[in-house]
Copies of this chain bind each other. A is one copy, B any other.
Amino acid sequence: MSHTVQNKSKLLARVRRLKGQMEAIERALEAEVSCAEILNLAASVRGATNGLVVELLEDHLRNHVVDVEGDAQRKAGADELIEVMRRHLK
């Protein structure tokens, strides 16, 4: 079972909140509010997205590295985690 299943509702709520923040930027652009305000909205989304990535890394670590049976599966879970960190956090 996927880690995203276990924490599915919590993650879905977070993703929908992020989508709502993107819609707020869309409305702000259409309403031509000040660009400083839009910059702050976008910078908040950036922070929230970092938070989502960290939560997903954490879930993956718990469900695919810590709570698994067998060394091969554990190593595979760790390798996936390392690949994502290398590709996106550098």
Contact = CB atoms under 8 A, between A and B. Distances in A.
A79 B38 CA distance: 16
A28 B15 CA distance: 11
Contact of A65 (B4, B59, B78): B78
B25 A53 contact: no
Copies per complex? 4
A8 B28 CA distance: 10
A88 B47 contact: yes
Contacts of A38: 4, 56
A18 B74 CA distance: 33
Interface string A12-36: 1001101100110110111011111
A66 B23 CA distance: 29
A74 B66 contact: yes
B58 A35 contact: no
